[in-house]
Structure 1
Amino acid sequence: MKKIKLIVLDVDGVLTDGKLYMGSDGEEYKAFHTQDGMGISLARYAGIKTAIITGRSSEAVTKRSKELKIDYVFQGIHEKLEVLQQIVSELQIGLDEVCYVGDDINDLPILREVGFPAAPNNAVPYVKEQVKYVSLLKGGEGAVRDIIESILQEQYDYETLLDDYLYGKIRVVQ
């Protein structure tokens, strides 16, 4: 695996369980897993940029992205690959230095182009056949953390990275 410099995430089915919770007022609710948040924080600490590219738009995603200091957030996007190409151009990296985590067929155009395509265990079967890594965990249940840890363990002395992170941090957002 080439060194990953950008981790891009879908939201529904990846950072969440894929269910849409809507109140009678039309407000959309999403449940995020704190362990995924810690994984994103670890990736950022290691110098890996983070992004969200999702087809839906949600204030919950906006709020969670700000909490986690996600570098790039694009919502309401149907041509996800075009947006990713803009990001990699800005960062001056190749698609082979990108990990994308997706769970459904609308993620295939990106999954087929990046260096490290990954999916949570609840991804549709066809997507799971197309990626290099399938987490044992489901979206919204720690799959993102698992995928990020697999990257960090491959690219870094993971124990040293964790020690540096733990003893160098005062406040950690999960």
Structure 2
Amino acid sequence: MKNSIKLIVLDVDGVLTDGKLYIGSDRVEYKPFHTQDGMGISLAHYAGIKTAIITGRNSEAVSKRAEELKIQYVYQGIHDKLSVLEEIMSELNITMEDVCYMGDDINDLPIMQKVGFPVAPDNAVTLVKSSAQHHTKARGGEGAVREMIDYILSSQHDYSALIRDYLDGKITITQ
């Protein structure tokens, strides 16, 4: 990680979730999200880091979770993730070097090959892991996003001060 990260962009299936699709007989899609990832996203926001979701699938569960976590940019049903990222970067006036992207499969490679800090969860396919600068010990949906965020925050901020602010009631956290 060369520069400070200003934007964290996440895929959903296999990153924020375990990658399994749960579709009920009512055709409603269910997704399990990890509360530790939510805590990490809240800490990133407090530290001034913006967050985005860019995913190839559409899911009401993703919309609900993103709203709970106050994720600023949420794009679903996207096949050209790179062009969406470029739009976000233009709005934020940042460069690729300022972006961290976490993905787990080959549809994430176009972004991962361009951003300043590409990260893969432990369950990512081999090709994606080899394209990442960092990969987590945790699997997607099992705290991988939190592990990545802790790594970034520890590198860029006084992490213990962030925790003190939480303990002192200065941060409202959504898990």
Q: For the superposition of Structure 1 and Structure 2, which TM-score range results when normalised by the shorter chain?
A: over 0.9
CA distance in 1, matches of 2:14, 2:171: 31
Deviations 1:137-168 (A, max 9, x none): 00000000000000000001111121113323
Distance in 2 (CA, whole Å) between partners of 1:146 and 1:111 is 18
What letter corresponds to residue 47 of structure 1 in structure 2?
G
Counterpart in the other structure of 1:153: 154
Please tell me the residue identity of whatever aligns with 2:13: D
Contact 2:166–2:172, Cα closer than 8 Å, also in 1: no
Give the secondary structure class of the aligned counterpart of 1:114: coil
Q: Stretches of 4+ moved more than 6 A in 1?
A: none
Contact 1:135 1:147 in 2 (8 A): yes
Distance in structure 1 (CA, Å) of the matches to 2:168 and 2:37:
20
Counterpart for residue 31 of structure 1? 32
Question: Is residue 46 of structure 2 the alignment partner of residue 45 of structure 1?
Answer: yes
TM-score (norm 1): 0.98
Letter in 2 for 1:14: V
**Deviation, structure 1 residue 108:** 0.2
2:6 alignment partner in structure 1: 5
Kindly provide the CA deviation profile for residues 32-76 of structure 1, in whole angstroms up to 9, marking residues without a partner as x: 000000000000000000000000000000000000000100000
* 1:106 maps onto 2:132 in alignment: no
Tell me the secondary structure at the aligned position of residue 145 of structure 2.
Answer: helix
- Aligned partners of 2:110 and 2:172: how far apart in 1? 37
1:143 counterpart = 2:141: no
In structure 1, runs of 5+ residues without a counterpart are: none
RMSD of Structure 2 on Structure 1 (CA): 0.9
Distance 2:38 2:112 in 1: 22
Deviations 1:114-146 (A, max 9, x none): 000001000001100010010000000000000
CA contact (8 A) 1:100 1:116 kept: yes
- Consecutive unaligned residues in structure 2, runs of 5 or more: none
The AA in structure 2 aligned to 1:28 is: E
The question of whether the paired residues in 2 share the 8 Å contact of 1:20 and 1:28 is answered with yes
Q: Contact conserved, 1:120 with 1:137, CA < 8 A, in 2?
A: yes
Compared CA separation, residues 170 and 157, structure 1 to 2 (3 A): closer
How far is 1:169 from its partner? 3.8
CA distance in 1, matches of 2:92, 2:28: 35
> 2:104, 2:121 within 8 Å by CA — same for their partners in 1?
yes
2:165 corresponds in structure 1 to: 164
Percentage identity across paired residues of the two chains: 67
Contact 1:10–1:52, Cα closer than 8 Å, also in 2: yes
After TM superposition, the structure 1 = structure 2 runs for residues 65-144 of structure 1, keeping only pairs within 5 Å, are: 65-144=66-145
Report if the CA contact (8 A) 2:46-2:171 is conserved.
Answer: no
Change (3 A) 1:127 1:61: same
Cα gap change, 1:170 to 1:131, in 2 (>3 Å): closer
